[in-house]
Structure 1
Amino acid sequence: MSDSPWYQENRMRYGVGIEDTFIPQERVGHRKLDEYELTQHYRYWREDLELAAQAGAEFIRWGVPWYLVEPRPGEFDWFWLDEVTAVMRDLGLRCIVDLMHYGTPLWLDNSFLNSSYPERVASYGRAVAERYRDVWTDYTPLNEPIVNAEWCGQNGAWPPYLVGDDGFIRVLMQLARGMVRTQQEIAAVHPDATFVHVDAGFRYEGDTSPLPRELLEERRFAALDLITGRMHRDSVVGEWLVAHGVTENDFEWFRTNAVHPDVIGVNYYPHFTTVRMVDGTTTPVSAGTAGLRDLVTAYSARYGGPLAVTETSLIGSVEERIAWLRQSSAELNDLRAEGHPIVGYTWFPFFTMVDWLYRFDAKTPDEWFLSFGLVDLVRAADQRLERVPNAGFEQFRSLARGARDDAIGG
């Protein structure tokens, strides 16, 4: 077996991810959103992990519910995570740990705006890495920072409920500082840790408004450019940040504290990653494998590698999901053959999830089910959500096994 880090081996691994959005804060018209609770993963987590292993996944993207693990500042409840990590180790599942998937603990006033947020999230990340360093070696400090900044800072949908460009930037800067500090603190206790930084792969078509197309094209890279020390005030995004109060001292802090991902993860969904924006109206556009190719080549040219597709799937019939699984994996193999350093393919979510819009009304979770998965959730008479693998499960297993066998044979 090679002593090289997994991402330096010249092959593509297949993995799955479990949707792990946690927004515990409630207010009038805004329900708690905890995907593990809504999909009964807290109850059936062993079965879910076993299914991931049976599917042939070599890794799993799985998130820690920060708000439950650290119920009070500096006080940790490790009981459940101790059990989870033990099962992952027994199954041989490499976990790419999602430390922050949108939500903060209830005790952190004003959420991401709290002045202590970067140090609080870094301290939490360090505690997790220190306790589980013998099992978990791979970390995503924060999932999809640009989506996070949109929902929390631009659209006012999630805490701290800011709106507009100024809100987006205030949240973004806090998120980026937290990403840097988290990586620094994990590296301090786990020098061999692997860092997989993940963002949504936005694509735009047509004339855009209210922000210019050029700014939107560059804004999608803002978090990665900040944390890697690439952002400068005279860039298109840099000028926009300065106009909203970001200072030269802020840019200098990121340059001085620059961190570097071992793997850059790109998330792509063929039916809604690409949007057409005309006169303030946003319409999702289906872009298929052409959009996937465009994103991978853009990230490859900007940052080099290694790269992983850390989320992809399709809402539709099982046959449509299987078609996308085949098409997308074939496209990535073509891109690898062309020299793009793609090391991972992740079907995400592994099973049915609940639409985030569940948070904003009184409908049942079942009425917001989204059929993305290789495993379907079916409500039984006793209210259990049964896990039912569909035909996509077998197709994924075949692809994953083939990739692993090719690596062994090579």
Structure 2
Amino acid sequence: MHRPELLASFVMGGFECSSCRRADGRRLDLLASTGHARHAEADYLALRTEGIATVRDGLRWHLIEQRPGLYDWSSFDLLLDAAERTGTQVIWDICHYGYPDDLDIWQPAFVERFARFAGAAAQHVRERSDSVPFYCPINEISFWAWAGGDVSYFNPSRERRGMELKHQLVRASIAAIEAIRAVDPRARFVQADPLINVVPAPDRPQDGEGAENYRQAQFEAWDLLSGRAWPGLGGREEYLDILGLNFYPHNQWYLGGAQIPRGHPDYRPFLAMLKEAHLRYGRPMIITETGAEGDGREPWLDYMGEQVDQALAAGVPLEGLCLYPVLDYPGWDDDRHCHTGLLGFPDAQGCRPVHAGTRQALKRLAERIGDRLPAGLHGQRVSA
């Protein structure tokens, strides 16, 4: 049995902090559009009331470095100071898809400037906090490479350049880790990417090899970071400090076809996926993103609680599970109200409605795994 001890709470909350530019040129800023940028302290306190002491949150590079080499930390300080005042532990995303408009992501200057920014951010954090810092240098390298480099969904909005973008993001992540470690050797690093399962459609068994190749591609970014593939990029095993695993109901599908629903014979249990990642890398792991929308929230969290409980019992080194996003948010494409969070949109005072079903599901999850947690972790004490 594994007993998590890494984080302040096993159950975590993730604040959607994407700041990419869509293919149509519109800049997203989810910290602003969810109201979290204005109400960070109230949000952290609301989660502490629910027994959640660890969160994921992020910096907005495009706001902090509007001119090369000049940093305005005011947007970050609102979050950083709120975390300090509320005693909230944060895993900071240094780059969550967004970057300054004057940068060409394909050029070496992107890597160099990102490293300087990451080092400066780490220095700023160290000057304002004595806590051991946790960073996710670049969120979802694999997804970003696909979305930005293969299907032109958001920046840099290209097609058929996904592997090239993946290599560039790996270089940037490695450079950022080195820059941060030079400032604060205590820093811990989370490398977050989706876990997926892809199989051939029942009527197309000939697609078996293609489906498996697609499934294996989920490991490419981690293999590059660790130096197991393309070692010329500079990867080393030490860059896989903590493995971040993102998993949603839509993360299993037939090659070129439909989503595989949970409960179907072709649906792979999440426990098996966790065991595979553990056997492959042997690193501590955090479920850095999981959740569902609308009425799917409760059954999904119940399923995840069951799988996590079994994983801990089997000795899988899981250190946390993050409800993501923990706030309702406006849809990336159409601004629709996405009902995904424990907390809804805020009123003028920053008060947010609590989704009762999600609260109860988190309570059941925490109670299920409570006997596997040390007394110091708050995840087993989600309030009723």
Question: Match for residue 123 of structure 1?
Answer: 116
Contact 1:55 1:394 in 2 (8 A): no
The correspondence of residues 382-397 of structure 1 with structure 2, limited to 5 A, is 387-391=352-356, 392-396=358-362
List per-residue Cα deviations over 1:131-152 (Å, max 9, x = no partner).
1122460000111111100111
**Partner in structure 1 of residue 48 of structure 2:** 53
Q: Name the TM-score, length of structure 2 as normaliser.
A: 0.86
Contact 2:14–2:323 (8 Å) recurs in 1: yes
285-294 vs 124-133, which deviates more?
285-294
Q: What secondary structure sits across from 2:144 in the alignment?
A: helix
Aligned to 1:297: 275
Q: Confirm whether residue 283 of structure 1 aligns to residue 258 of structure 2.
A: yes
Q: CA deviation at 1:225?
A: 0.5
**1:351 and 2:317 matched:** no
1:408 partner amino acid:
A
Length-normalised TM-score, structure 1: 0.80
Distance 1:276 1:17, change over 3 A: same
Partner residue in 1 for 2:61 = 66
Residues 199 and 208, structure 2, Cα contact 8 Å, conserved in 1 = no
Q: State the distance in 2 between where 1:116 and 1:204 align.
A: 36
| Range moving further from structure 2, 387-396 or 344-353 | 387-396
Asked whether the 8 Å contact 2:240–2:283 carries over to 1, the reply is no
Distance of 1:120 and 1:212 partners within structure 2:
37
Does residue 1:340 correspond to 2:340, yes or no? no
- How far does residue 400 in structure 1 lie from its aligned partner after superposition? 4.5
1:337: how far off? 0.6
- Runs ≥4 in structure 1, deviation > 6 angstroms? 208-211
Contact 1:98–1:141 (Cα < 8 Å) also in 2: yes
Secondary structure of the corresponding residue to residue 157 of structure 1: coil
1:3-402 alignment runs, 5 A limit:
6-7=5-6, 13-23=10-20, 25=21, 29-108=24-103, 110=104, 112-133=105-126, 134=129, 135=131, 137-164=133-160, 167-206=161-200, 212-232=210-230, 251-255=231-235, 259-270=238-249, 272-277=250-255, 281-287=256-262, 290-317=268-295, 320-358=296-334, 365=335, 368-377=336-345, 387-391=352-356, 392-396=358-362, 399-400=365-366
What does residue 380 of structure 2 align with? Answer: none
How far did 1:294 drift? Answer: 2.8
Give the Å deviation of 1:357: 2.0
Partner SS for 2:45: helix
Contact between 1:13 and 1:404, CA under 8 Å: does it hold in 2? no
Root mean square deviation, CA, Å: 2.8
Tell me, yes or no, if the aligned pair for 1:70 and 1:105 is still in contact at 8 Å: yes
**What amino acid does structure 2 have at the position aligned with 1:340?**
V
> Does structure 2 retain, via aligned residues, the 8 Å contact 1:375–1:389?
yes
Q: Hey, what does 2:381 align to over in structure 1?
A: none
Runs of at least 5 residues in structure 1 that lack an aligned partner in the other structure:
233-250, 359-364
Q: Is the 8 A contact 1:16 1:347 kept in 2?
A: yes
Any conservation in 2 of the 1:145–1:175 contact (CA below 8 Å)? yes
> How much does 1:119 deviate?
1.3
Greater relative CO (CA pairs within 8 A, separation 6+): 2
- 8 Å Cα contact 2:57-2:91 kept in structure 1: yes
